[in-house]
């Protein structure tokens, strides 16, 4: 169970491990380099496809016209404080206009205005079939015309583009067509029909508004007449006579004077005057001996008093010189008495007049008081009646105000002139000189971007699908094994010849691997080691021979055992006979030395697989294999075993327990990580010691791996010196 879980985790997390254990740039660079030809092929194909589509696409021409849409108030009644709230109305208005500009009804008007279904240029540009109406009759012809109308309308809706200019009331109207003349003609007709339709809608709304106002005016007229009749009738019943009225700025009655109020005001003034006169007359009577102002101001009385004063003065002068009995003095005294009596008579007459004036003033005062009290009672009664009177008056004022406002609006609403049009053409459409699409450079750039995106998606999909071991460093990162080295992929032919060429990359690679082997144990290169792989043909046999050959050239006595009895390859690789070998010994022959043959190389001896047994696993499970390795260890410095592959067979785990350790061979870009990990798990379950792994058949042209520096290739060492 644990082994299965471990294997699944290794496969699922391989991509994450790769990215975590190395720089992202390095990882992506390796991926790109590995798929470079696929990337170039995809990008090239997409770019060529884009170029072909561009060259084969019919050129499209876009003509543009610009208009200004002004917002008009739509207040039918035009009565103060009756308008709708303006907040948000502007956005609603322009959104509505944009929708009207894109409406199907407007497109149909343009089709009919330009007679596009019969326009040869339009029919040719959009592929209409040329059929004469004479070939179709009755309902069929009408249906065909309707179908062409719908088709043309759909074409116009597909080619029109309404683009409001942000932050303004300007709108660009663009139409795209294969014909530049058609594009300009349709764009201009679109504006024309939109303007005409807008005027028609406004005229229609005006007619509806006039009809509405006529009805409202009739109702208000009847209501006003009734209100005025009620007011007059009530005033007549209550004897309320209005002399004048004050009105405010809106024409409403603010203060109204009645006849009773006016009379009371006049009588109050007269009463005040009469009371003042009575008080003055009475005060003169109360003060004894006081002469009234009228008497003092009388000329005759004044002359008498002046004459009296003069006579008394003359008498006083005579008394200074003469006695009272003097004749002239007597005459003056007599005159004085006469004047005094005359003045007394005159003052008495004036006193009698003052009494008469007082009585008259008092009587007049009482009369006026009685009248004022009577008018007060009448006015109080009228004030109570005027409450309902004022209600009638306000009803009349309100109805008259609304009636006058609607009547004024009714007079104005019918006047809709050209100056009231809220659609203004800023720029008219002209036939474009260059096509708007396709643009070759832009399409090629987009194709390049699309090709790059498709290539990236493809290679990363392949990267996720392909779970084979590609990078030799994955041996350590993913499998957890020591990487002993890598061998390059040969160009073909006999790999043994490449091994014999001491300067070849293959020979140098195995020399580097042998160097790594010398550090595996405390006694250097392991005494006995088995080479195995996941499946056949991964290079294990060649690797076993190459390392055995290098060890023999270094002066060590080496035995190479071909333990792959199901598919032996060492004998054919070295060109020797395979008549007797390992199978003979395991079958019961005690003398293994008789089966040892020379390889043609000094210090290198071969024990071939021998005849194929019917059940190799049964032979390998015996103790004779371990005894053989032990006995040969007494005669040889190193024993190299070319074992069978692990998957599907029980042979390799049986052999691994006989050797000191296992060297696992992995062919690059072949086996999936899960299969490799499963094979390694089987070896470990057999208590095998795995020294490490080496990767074979690596494409040295992939410079991203840097084999020359990382793994010891290209040293340029002389082979003799290496040996």
Q: pLDDT per residue over 470-480, tens digit each?
A: 778 778 878 88
358 lies in the same domain as 497: no
**Element (H or E) spanning 631, and its range?**
helix 624-633
pLDDT confidence of 289, banded at 50, 70, 90? very low
Same domain, 611 and 683: yes
In a domain, 438, yes or no: no
Peptide bond into 438 cis (omega under 30): yes
Looking up tokens 């007394």 gives 344
Q: CA 195, CA 92: separation in Å to the nearest integer? A: 19
Q: Has residue 248 got a pLDDT over 50? A: yes
pLDDT digits (tens, 9 = 90+) for 55-92: 888 899 999 999 999 887 655 455 544 445 554 678 88
SS (H, E, C) 162-181: EEECCCCCEEEEEEEECCHH
- 372 and 482 assigned to the same domain: no
At 9-37, the pLDDT tens digits run: 444 444 444 444 456 787 788 778 878 89
59 assigned to some structural domain: no
φ and ψ of 66, to 5 deg: -120, 135
Whether 484 and 551 share a structural domain: yes
Residue 333 lies in a domain: yes
| Domain identity same for 404 and 504 | no
What tokens were used for 538? 């991964």
Per DSSP, the residues of 43-76 read: HHHHHHHHHHHHHHSPPBEEEEEEEEE------S
The position carrying tokens 């209409």 is 128
Q: Could you say which of 418, 435, 454 is where a domain stops? A: 418
Longest dimension (CA), the chain: 223
Distance of alpha carbon 634 from the chain centroid: 83
Cα dist from 12 to 3, 444, 712, 718, whole Å: 14, 39, 32, 45
- Spatial separation of the C-alpha atoms in residues 513 and 521, rounded to whole Å: 14
What average pLDDT does the segment 609-614 reach?
Answer: 88
478 and 408 share one domain: no
Structural domain contains residue 374 = yes
462: its two tokens = 């392949």
Structure tokens at 553: 């050239």
> Rounded to whole angstroms, how far apart are CA atoms 173 and 429?
9
Domain assignment present for residue 331? The answer is yes
696/223 Cα distance (integer angstroms) = 110
Burial of 677 (0-12, 13-18, 19+ CB in 10 A): buried
Lowest mean pLDDT among 92-101, 198-207, 659-668: 198-207
Position 262 confidence tier, pLDDT thresholds 50, 70, 90:
low
Question: Is residue 332 located within the same domain as residue 408?
Answer: yes
User: Contact 535/671 with Cβ under 8 angstroms?
Assistant: yes
CA dist., res. 291 & res. 347, Å (int)? 7
Buried b (16+ CB within 10 A) or exposed e, 615-633: ebeebbeeebbeebbeebe
Q: Binning pLDDT at 50, 70 and 90, where does residue 559 land?
A: very high
CATH classification of the domain holding 287: 1.10.287
| Angstrom distance (rounded) from CA 476 to CA 472 | 8
List the strands of the sheet with 160-164, edge to edge.
160-164, 170-177, 61-69, 423-427
* CA–CA gap between residue 311 and residue 305 (Å, rounded): 10
- Residues 528 and 635 reside in one and the same domain: yes
Q: Which residues contact 315 (CB under 8 A, 6 or more apart)?
A: 329, 332, 333, 336
In the listed set 418, 448, 464, which residue is the last one of a domain according to the structure?
418
- Beta strand pairing status for 423-427 and 61-69? antiparallel
Structure tokens at 704: 């991203």
In this structure, the answer to whether residues 379 and 492 fall within a common structural domain is no
State mean pLDDT over 644-670.
88
Predicted confidence band of residue 8 (pLDDT cuts 50, 70, 90): very low
Q: What are phi and psi of 403, to 5 degrees?
A: -65, -45
**Does residue 140 lie in a domain region?**
no
Task: Say if residue 575's pLDDT is above 80.
Answer: yes
Residue 17: CB partners within 8 Å, gap ≥ 6? 474, 477, 478
Let me know if 706 is exposed, middle or buried by CB neighbors in 10 A (0-12, 13-18, 19+): exposed
Residues 542 and 618 in one domain: yes
Residue 45 lies in a domain: no
The answer to the question of residue 491 being in a domain is yes
Q: Which of 637, 629, 638 has the alpha carbon at shortest distance from 659?
A: 629
Q: Are 347 and 354 in contact (CB under 8 A)?
A: no
Q: Which residues pair with 437 in a beta bridge?
A: 60
* Residue 278 main-chain phi, psi, to 5 deg: -65, -40
d(CA 372, CA 272): 11
CA 538-541-543 angle, to 5 degrees, is 85
Contact 258, 381 (CB under 8 A): no
The lowest-confidence range among 205-219, 279-293, 534-548 is: 279-293
| 548 vs 261, more confident | 548
The beta-carbon contacts of 287-292 under 8 Å, at least 24 apart in sequence, are: 291/347, 291/350, 292/350, 292/351, 292/353, 292/354
**Cα Rg of the chain (Å, integer):** 66
Alpha-carbon distance of 103 to 105, in angstroms, equals 5
Instruction: Please give the average per-residue pLDDT across 396-410, as a whole number.
Output: 76
The structural domain count of the chain equals 2
Whether the pLDDT of residue 504 is over 80: the answer is: yes
Q: What is the pLDDT of residue 558?
A: 95
Considering the chain, what is the average pLDDT of its residues? 78
Per the DSSP assignment, residues forming a β-bridge with 175 are 63, 160
Cβ atoms of 486 and 698 within 8 Å: the answer is yes
Pick from 176-190, 251-265, 371-385, 584-598: least confident: 251-265
Paired sense of beta strands 483-488 and 253-258, if any: unpaired
Are 398 and 264 within one domain? yes
pLDDT at 669 over 70: yes
For position 622, what pLDDT does the model report? 84
Helix axes 180-237, 104-114, angle to 10 degrees: 120
What is the mean predicted confidence (pLDDT) over 309-334?
Answer: 77
* Angle of helix 327-413 versus helix 259-286 axis, rounded to 10: 170
Percentage of the chain beyond pLDDT 90 is 24
Let me know: does 612 contact 501? Beta carbons within 8 Å. no
Instruction: Report the alpha-carbon distance of residue 158 to residue 175 in Å, rounded.
Output: 9
Instruction: Identify the residue with better confidence: 187 or 383.
Output: 187
H-helix or E-strand containing 528? Answer: strand 528-533
- Residue 711 CA to residue 717 CA, distance in Å, equals 14
- Paired tokens of 74: 């739509």
CA distance 232 to 479: 114
Between 237 and 162, whose confidence is greater?
A: 162
Bridge partners (DSSP) of residue 640 are 529, 560
Whether residue 394 is found in the same domain as residue 486: no
- 371, 402, 418 — which closes off a domain? 418
Q: Which domain holds residue 592?
A: 474-717
Give the predicted TM-score (pTM) of the model.
0.49
């Amino acid at each position: 169970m644990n082994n299965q879980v471990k294997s699944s985790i290794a496969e699922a997390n391989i991509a994450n491990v790769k990215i975590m254990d190395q720089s992202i740039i390095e990882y992506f660079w390796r991926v790109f380099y590995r798929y470079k030809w696929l990337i170039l092929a995809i990008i090239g194909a997409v770019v060529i496809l884009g170029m072909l589509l561009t060259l084969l696409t019919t050129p499209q021409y876009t003509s543009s016209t610009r208009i200004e849409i002004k917002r008009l108030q739509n207040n039918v009644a035009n009565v103060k404080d009756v308008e709708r709230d303006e907040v948000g109305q502007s956005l609603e208005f322009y959104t509505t206009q944009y929708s009207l500009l894109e409406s199907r009804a407007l497109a149909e008007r343009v089709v009919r205005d330009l007679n596009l279904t019969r326009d040869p240029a339009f029919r040719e540009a959009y592929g209409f079939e040329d059929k004469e109406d004479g070939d179709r009759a009755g309902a069929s012809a009408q249906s065909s015309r309707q179908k062409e109308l719908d088709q043309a309308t759909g074409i116009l809706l597909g080619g029109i583009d309404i683009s409001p200019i942000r932050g303004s009331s300007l709108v660009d109207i663009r139409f795209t067509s294969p014909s530049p003349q058609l594009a300009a003609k349709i764009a201009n007709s679109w504006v024309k029909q939109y303007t005409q339709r807008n005027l028609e809608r406004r005229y229609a709304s005006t007619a509806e508004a006039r009809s509405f106002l006529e009805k409202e005016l009739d109702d208000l007229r009847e209501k006003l007449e009734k209100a005025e009749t009620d007011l007059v009738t009530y005033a007549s019943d209550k004897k309320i006579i209005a002399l004048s009225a004050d009105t405010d700025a809106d024409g409403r009655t603010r203060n109204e004077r009645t006849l009773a109020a006016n009379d009371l005001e006049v009588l109050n003034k007269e009463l005040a005057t009469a009371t003042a006169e009575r008080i003055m007359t009475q005060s003169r009577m109360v003060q004894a001996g006081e002469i009234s102002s009228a008497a003092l101001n009388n000329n005759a009385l004044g002359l008498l008093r002046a004459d009296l004063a003069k006579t008394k003065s003359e008498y006083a002068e005579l008394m200074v010189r003469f006695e009272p009995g003097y004749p002239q003095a007597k005459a003056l005294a007599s005159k004085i008495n006469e004047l005094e009596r005359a003045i007394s008579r005159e003052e008495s007459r004036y006193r009698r007049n003052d009494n008469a004036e007082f009585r008259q003033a008092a009587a007049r005062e009482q009369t006026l008081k009685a009248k004022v009290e009577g008018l007060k009672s009448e006015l109080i009664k009228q004030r109570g009646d005027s409450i309902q009177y004022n209600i009638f008056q306000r009803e009349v004022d309100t109805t008259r105000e609304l009636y006058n406002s609607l009547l004024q609006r009714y007079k104005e609403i019918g006047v809709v002139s050209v100056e009231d049009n809220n659609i203004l053409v800023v720029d008219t459409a002209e036939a474009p000189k260059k096509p708007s699409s396709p643009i070759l450079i832009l399409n090629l750039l987009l194709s390049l971007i699309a090709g790059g995106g498709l290539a990236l998606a493809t290679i990363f999909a392949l990267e996720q699908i392909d779970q084979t071991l590609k990078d030799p460093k994955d041996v350590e990162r993913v499998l957890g094994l020591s990487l002993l080295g890598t061998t390059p992929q040969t160009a073909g032919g006999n790999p043994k010849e490449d091994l014999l060429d001491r300067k070849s990359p293959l020979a140098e690679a195995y020399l580097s691997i042998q160097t790594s082997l010398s550090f595996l144990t405390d006694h250097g290169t392991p005494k006995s080691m088995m080479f195995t792989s996941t499946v056949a043909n991964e290079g294990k046999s060649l690797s076993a021979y190459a390392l055995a050959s290098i060890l023999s050239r270094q002066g060590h006595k080496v035995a190479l055992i071909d333990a792959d009895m199901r598919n032996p390859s060492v004998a054919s690789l070295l060109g020797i006979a395979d008549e007797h070998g390992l199978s003979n010994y395991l079958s019961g022959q005690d003398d293994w030395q008789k089966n040892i043959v020379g390889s043609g190389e000094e210090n290198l001896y071969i024990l071939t697989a021998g005849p194929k047994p019917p059940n190799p696993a049964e032979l390998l499970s015996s103790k004779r294999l371990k005894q053989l390795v032990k006995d040969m260890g007494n005669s040889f410095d190193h024993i190299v075993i070319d074992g069978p592959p692990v998957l599907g067979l029980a042979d390799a785990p049986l052999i691994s327990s006989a050797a000191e350790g296992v060297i696992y061979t992995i062919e690059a870009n072949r086996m999936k990580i899960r299969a490799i990990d499963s094979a390694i798990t089987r070896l470990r379950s057999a208590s095998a010691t795995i020294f490490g792994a080496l990767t074979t058949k690596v494409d040295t042209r992939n410079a991203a791996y840097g084999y020359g520096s990382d793994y010891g290739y290209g040293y340029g060492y002389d082979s003799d010196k290496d040996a």
